[in-house]
Structure 1
Amino acid sequence: MPEALLSTHGLNAHYGDFQALFGVDINIHAGEVIAIIGANGAGKTTLMRSITGLLANRPDMVTYRNTPIGALRADQVARTGIAMVPEGRQLFQSLSVEENLIIGGQIGRKGPWELEKVFRLFPILKERRAVPSTALSGGQQQMVAIGRALMSNPELILFDEISLGLAPIIIKSIYEVLPDIIGEGMSAVIVEQDIAKALSVAGRVYCMQEGRISLEGRSNELTREQISAAYFGV
């Protein structure tokens, strides 16, 4: 395998005295899409928060392009080329669709993603560009969250529970545009509870259980029985 773009090395994470991650090791290579699956409370979001600097760790527990970033702040991590579409969207409620998108570009990274390209990806957002984010449907809000992350022109994009709380038809439409995003040569992490959706787009999969990696392998080589055992711990 080529050298990893991003790696975690024995990653631990805590919320006060509570330990949420235990020695997690993952690797993501340039141009690769991986899935991270697991039940509620498995540690998936904590892993994303640790990678993006929302939870600080020892510097060497997360490396990006062979550079330790585990102790960087979230804004510093974003400037290295990592963006996240957070669970629950977390838009700026007082701002319009366009203003939310523009904020994503404020870190100043150069690249192909700018406002009009996001509008081509999600035409409904151009129609509603002046509308407050609070007036959007859940699916439209998710589109804004994805667009905001793309506006930072990342090399690696993390989708945390991309389909959570959305209607099946909206989930389908969002997954349909993922090839247009990843096709730009970007690497991606898809965090999902929907195993079938995750496996449909990812070349490799990690399964988490109780803060640990319980299974890792190529999506087309793992059996349903292996995934079920790792997911549910049976």
Structure 2
Amino acid sequence: MQMADALLSTQALEAYYGDFQALFGISIDVFPGEVIAIIGANGAGKTTLMRSITGLIRNQPDMVLWNGEAIGSRRADQVAAAGIAMVPEGRQLFQSLSVEENLIIGGQMGRKGPWSLEKVFELFPILKERRNVPSTALSGGQQQMVAIGRALMSNPQILLFDEISLGLAPIIIKSIYEALPNIIGEGMSAIIVEQDIAKALSVSSRVYCLQEGRISLEGRPETLNRDDISAAYFGV
């Protein structure tokens, strides 16, 4: 595939927190309908990359391309309106609102697409049962389902999952990963940031490993061996 075919690209992306540089020349591509995984140790720059793509960290315009258009300097709301949604680390639900109200907020962009309140309830039936419950009364796994549902309600073309399984029980992680095919099956692309390397490899078509703000490894899961991944992950 050529670069022109990419849905989303970053080009020599750099990111800063004040004077501290967190990303150094990151170039990735995501093609339509593709799932890519971003792996790496804590502090490797994974969340910074997600924040840069979604406009939470502003960059030079041409460092992030969306359908070939430079969007690196756009505000987060403008990026979301263009069709990029993120399930943030820590869920970040509106604590004073119910499950249903949190989901409805996700649909405020007014983008057309397959996802509606009922479609989200079909994906996660427990949320329909608890639709009127405050988000603070939910388990961690249920909160993650709400965060995913809220992002889907914006009918994005690409969905970014930042630390999708962090802090969740294994049985909940399993159920969320089992739901992924139904999400991606709608023709959506996805970027999954994940600490669990095996999980990341199992659902992705390509993998990028970050180490200290740089890409240390990239490739297809079937072509990468454990030693290569270990060296790229830990720098040994």
Deviations 1:23-47 (A, max 9, x none): 1000000000000000000000000
In structure 1, C-alpha distance between the alignment counterparts of 2:13 and 2:220, rounded to whole Å: 22
Aligned to 1:191: 193
CA distance in 2, matches of 1:134, 1:95: 9
Report the equivalent of 1:223.
225
Q: Distance in 2 between matches of 1:66 and 1:112?
A: 24
Distance 1:112 1:92 in 2: 24
Among the aligned pairs, what percent are the same residue?
81
How far the C-alpha of 1:208 sits from its partner, in A, is 0.2
Distance 2:193 2:103 in 1: 22
Please, what TM-score do these two structures have when normalized by structure 1? 0.99
**Corresponding letter in the other structure for 1:207:** C
Task: Name stretches of at least 5 consecutive residues in structure 2 with no aligned partner.
Answer: none
Aligned position for 1:117 = 119
Aligned mates of 1:119, 1:5 — CA distance in 2: 28
For residue 36 of structure 2, give the secondary structure of its aligned residue in structure 1: strand
Inter-partner Cα distance in structure 2 for 1:145 and 1:8:
25
1-structure distance, mates of 2:33, 2:150: 20
Question: What is the alpha-carbon distance in structure 2 between the residues aligned to residue 18 and residue 158 of structure 1?
Answer: 24
Residue 187 of structure 1: CA displacement? 0.2
Distance in structure 2 (CA, Å) of the matches to 1:93 and 1:17? 33
- TM superposition shift of 1:232: 0.4
SS at match of 2:133: coil
| Residues 45-194 of structure 1: pairs in structure 2 closer than 5 A | 45-194=47-196
Within-5 A mapping of 1:28-39:
28-39=30-41
- Secondary structure of the residue aligned to 2:215 is strand
Q: Matches of 1:47 and 1:192 in 2, distance apart?
A: 13
TM-score, scaled to structure 2: 0.99
Number of equivalences: 234
Q: What amino acid does structure 1 have at the position aligned with 2:187?
A: G
CA–CA separation in structure 2 for the residues paired with 1:193 and 1:101: 26
The one-character-per-residue Cα deviations of 1:106-129 (angstroms, maximum 9, x if unpaired) are 001000000000000000000000
Aligned mates of 1:24, 1:34 — CA distance in 2: 15
> 1:72 offset after TM fit, Å?
0.4
- Aligned partners of 2:151, 2:37: CA distance in 1, in Å? 18
Structure 1: distance between partners of 2:146 and 2:192: 17
Shift of the alpha carbon at 1:139?
Answer: 0.1
CA drift at 1:221: 0.8
CA distance in 1, matches of 2:224, 2:205: 11
Secondary structure at 1:26 match in 2: strand
For 2:19, which of 7, 17, 20 is the aligned residue?
17
Q: Distance in 2 between matches of 1:190 and 1:96?
A: 27
Q: Deviations over 1:167-218 (max 9, x none)?
A: 0010000000000000110000010010000000000000000000000001
1:202 is matched with: 204
2:112 alignment partner AA: K
Q: CA deviation at 1:163?
A: 0.1
Measured after TM superposition, the shift of residue 93 of structure 1 is 0.4
Cα distance in structure 1, aligned partners of 2:20 and 2:110? 36
Separation in 1 of the partners of 2:42 and 2:92? Answer: 19
